[in-house]
Structure 1
Amino acid sequence: MKKIIAFVLLISLNIFANDIDRADEAYDKQDYKTAIEYYTKATNSQDLATKLDAMNQLGFIYDNVQIHQGITPNLKLAYEWYKKCADLDDAQCQFNIGSMYDEGHGVIQNYAEAMFWYKKAAEKDFVDAFYNIGLIYEIGKGTRKDIQEAIKWYSKAAALGDVESAQIVNELKATLK
């Protein structure tokens, strides 16, 4: 019985992996309707990485697609897919939600909410989250301007190899002298 269950599980994981592959192929060909169909199927995968990838890609398509590409942009759906993915602790989706709140893109602009999601992504060493938090403190967007705090966050991004953050750290430190 255990062998049968293991076999069925293995087959189902392979099916969802094939859905991701088909979705990626369709996406690369700019066949977004087909990509959406297969990514949506892959969101039911038992494999967490496959599920998260599919959810993130669906959010990305609805967030970034152009009308002439055959799909109508739908920021509500983009947010919903990013949120499902973020709630499963995916740093990319947490960052994407933070960006939506930061820019007021599809949601009411809310810097506190943006910071919350950026910090969730930063907990997983997501470089772009460190950078955006640094920027928020550097310019005082939704919070007090705090160059020392900006340097702290940019430094974390720089430590993970972000060259632009390293340059900003040097520039900001020079302004403090």
Structure 2
Amino acid sequence: MEDLRTHYHYFSNEEGDGYEIYSCDFPELKGYGDTYDEAMSDLRRNLKHREEKSMEAQPLMETAIAAYDKKDYMVAKSIWEPLSATNTDAMVNLGTMYVKGFGVERNISIAFSLFERAAAYGHETASFYMGGMYENGIGVTADKAEAIRYYTTAAEANMPTAQLKLGILLRDEDVLNSMRWMIRAAHSGEAQAHSLLTYVSNMSEATDINVAFRMMDESSQRAKVEMVIAENLAPTLASDGGGVELVNYIGGDTPEIWLRYLGACSGCHLGPTSTAGMILEQFEKVIDKKIVIYLW
């Protein structure tokens, strides 16, 4: 626990002076002491006790999951309900039962409360469910900002579906992060992200490298990319009522060019033999084949 993230405050009252410390990851756990070190030791003892309780719960969790899979919901509920006081997986599983009405009367309010508690501890599945509830107004007033906040927790825990959700929700207000999450989702194997995002590259055919381009600083390289868009791509795409804009440029051994479709091109998810192929060809003339282009 050497990397334990904590907050503390010093207090003084009729009973004396002392310190209170709580864990950032488990804010309900606190440590108290006359000195900072005593309070930290108390917090570590409480965290260790929580960890031991979690390990004790594992066999029970497995029994409950087996019962749930057999549709013996009453047994699953009898295990998850007491464990849900402290175990985040139990909170999520019990909440799922209340969403579906399996073994209990369907109750979105109870499910919301359980998911909210688990999400407060950083549980990625609970955070994803909370994102969905806020996005769609299930059990709560729809709130896009809250949906994004919860989806972000799940996305940062490498949940591809949450990354996809962020890519879609942020598209009109934060294009850079929208594409960043969409690319991560696609690389994680998320099927819808693959269908929305176009990836083109001829890296496997790359032989000669444009040394002069790679010797430029990144801002000069980016300026070259902007020039290709303005002089080579914009006139061609404008004739069909479309266009592209540069969202991000990442230099290096294999430069990445992130582009957003505009106008009539918006919503196009085309293969490398059509518009995407033409765009790649234009950049290869200025750079070389060892580049990657993402279009959305």
1:129 is matched with 162
Report if aligned partners of 1:101, 1:113 keep a CA contact under 8 Å in 2.
yes
Alpha-carbon distance, 1:19 to partner: 2.0
Residues 72 and 115 of structure 1: CA distance in aligned 2, closer, same or farther (over 3 Å) = same
- Correspondent of 1:153 among 159, 174, 181: 181
Q: Which runs of 4+ in 1 moved over 6 A?
A: 8-11
Listed as ranges, the gaps of 5+ residues in structure 2 are 1-48, 200-258, 267-274, 276-296
Residues 40 and 74 of structure 1: CA distance in aligned 2, closer, same or farther (over 3 Å) = same
Give the root-mean-square deviation of aligned CA atoms: 2.9
- Correspondent of 2:151 among 87, 103, 118: 118
2:40 is matched with none
* Count of matched residue pairs: 157
Alpha-carbon distance, 1:44 to partner: 5.0
2:105 is matched with 72
Query: Which amino acid in the other structure matches residue 17 of structure 1?
Result: Q
The TM-score normalised by the length of structure 2 is: 0.47
Alpha-carbon distance, 1:109 to partner: 0.9
Distance between the aligned counterparts of 2:146 and 2:74, measured in 1? 32
Q: Which has the larger radius of gyration?
A: 2
Q: Which has the higher helix share?
A: 1
1:166 is matched with 194
User: Is the partner of 2:197 in helix, strand or coil?
Assistant: helix
Residues 5-26 of structure 1 show CA distances to partners (whole Å, capped at 9, x for unaligned) of: xxx9999666522321221122
Distance between the aligned counterparts of 2:163 and 2:51, measured in 1? 38
- Correspondent of 1:57 among 93, 98, 113: 93
Bigger RCO of structures 1 and 2 (CA < 8 A, at least 6 apart): 1
Query: Which amino acid in the other structure matches residue 193 of structure 2?
Result: S
Distance between the aligned counterparts of 2:78 and 2:65, measured in 1? 11
Residues 82 and 135 of structure 1: CA distance in aligned 2, closer, same or farther (over 3 Å) = same
The TM-score normalised by the length of structure 1 is: 0.74
Aligned-residue sequence identity (percent) comes to: 25
Residues 148-176 of structure 1 show CA distances to partners (whole Å, capped at 9, x for unaligned) of: 65333211111222232122111996635
- Correspondent of 1:42 among 76, 79, 83: 83
1:104 is matched with 137
Residues 28 and 108 of structure 1: CA distance in aligned 2, closer, same or farther (over 3 Å) = same
Distance between the aligned counterparts of 2:100 and 2:177, measured in 1? 32
Residues 130 and 11 of structure 1: CA distance in aligned 2, closer, same or farther (over 3 Å) = closer
Residues 152 and 17 of structure 1: CA distance in aligned 2, closer, same or farther (over 3 Å) = closer
Residues 92-138 of structure 1 show CA distances to partners (whole Å, capped at 9, x for unaligned) of: 11111011100111111111110111112222222111100112234
Q: Which has the higher strand share?
A: 2
User: Is the partner of 1:161 in helix, strand or coil?
Assistant: coil
Distance between the aligned counterparts of 2:153 and 2:50, measured in 1? 32
